[in-house]
Amino acid sequence: MRNNGLGRYFIRRLLQALPLIVGVVILTFVLIHLAPGDPLTILAGDGGSPSYYAEMRARYGLDRSIPEQLGRYVLEVLSGDFGYSFSYQQPVFQVILNRVPATLLLMVTALVFSTLVGLWLGVRAGSRPHSWSDYLINVFTSTFYSIPVFWLGQLLILGLSVGLNLFPVSGMVSVRESYTGFRQVLDVLHHLALPALTLALSFMALTTRITRTSLREALAEDYVRTAQAKGLSERTVIRRHALRNSLLPIVTLIGGQIGLLITGAALTETIFAWPGLGRLLLDASLQRDYPLLMAIFILVSVTVIVANLLTDLIYTMLDPRVRLS
């Protein structure tokens, strides 16, 4: 019975999401086309004759009005055709899928790391408010939160790669070597460390702060006092009772971060020459590769919607008071 309800809920939510996706498509399409810039340099090169440019414009449908281009695009997308990338001359999803593994590896690592460390720091800070460790954690996380990620990345390269020679500067593998098996895994992890650390440091602050606040609230609840009165150790009180109830906002936060997984890494990927999706998005926007740009936006919005849906489902598991309706 419960499963049936869940299934129906899932489907209803997905249907509700459709108009949202259509809205995102229309809005981004119009914004992209209204923004100054032109993909013609990529398509046709420079130094050509006016007639050649007109011909290329017509060939790619760029001579039509924006509403007409939008209409044609929507029809194509509905028939499952997301078009060809201007700069890669390949179906866009082929281009995108190529980049997904690198981005997932980077983002999942960063997210797991930032969540674990953030939770740990948050619990430490929240269970001993206004102690020196609370202040220290506060200073630490706020600092990394406020440093722009591209600068942080360069500082880490300068310090840990160039200075201490611990990590490679850029890329995902050592191109001169042809490692296989376990050595290859180690090599990728070696390259992964710095970009993942850069991202994790910037994510961590929010997780820490929200854990701290939410734990403080939970600790003031009656059931916690009851647990304490039962004579449970502080450790058990926090782990078993307070923390579990303070997880809701953190789950929301992580859900939101998953939604931005794809775009969020654009700068970090660019700094570290990491061959991921965020950099593809940046390249596509600089070159005005409209079909590629649109497909990435659609992918991102679907990810955001699915992540939110999953967040809501996890809510019900964590807190029986929350019901799906």
> Cα–Cα distance between 169 and 163 in angstroms, integer?
11
Tokens 């659609």 correspond to what residue?
298
> Is there binding between residue 105 and another protein (CB under 8 A)?
no
Closest to another protein by CB, 211 vs 287, is 287
Specify the stretch interacting with another protein by CB under 8 A; choose among 5-13, 108-116, 225-233, 263-271: 263-271
Gap between the Cα atoms of 274 and 201, Å rounded:
18
**Binding residues for another protein, how many (CB under 8 A)?**
82
CB of 87 to another protein, least distance (A): 4
Q: Which stretch binds another protein (CB under 8 A): 125-133, 136-144, 233-241, 269-277?
A: 269-277
Among 5, 71, 101, 148, binds another protein (CB under 8 A): 148
Considering only residues 208 through 227, tell me which ones interact with another protein, judged by CB under 8 A: none
Among residue numbers 277 through 306, which ones bind another protein (CB under 8 A)? Answer: 279-283, 285-288, 293, 297, 300-301, 304
Q: Under the criterion CB under 8 A, does residue 267 sit at the interface with another protein?
A: yes
Of 141, 255, 261, 295, which lies in the binding site for another protein, with binding defined by CB under 8 A? 255
Distance CA 316, CA 309 (A): 11
Nearest in space to 246 (alpha carbons), one of 284, 220, 274 = 220
Task: Please identify, using beta-carbon distances, which residue of 247 and 280 lies nearer to another protein.
Answer: 280
Q: How far is the CB of 75 from another protein (least distance, A)?
A: 21
Site for another protein in 122-141 (CB under 8 A): none
Residues 66-85 touching another protein, rule: CB under 8 A, are 84-85
When asked if residue 150 is in the footprint of another protein (CB under 8 A), the reply is yes
Contact 215, 242 (CB under 8 A): yes
118 touches another protein by CB under 8 A: no
99 sits near another protein (criterion: CB under 8 A): yes
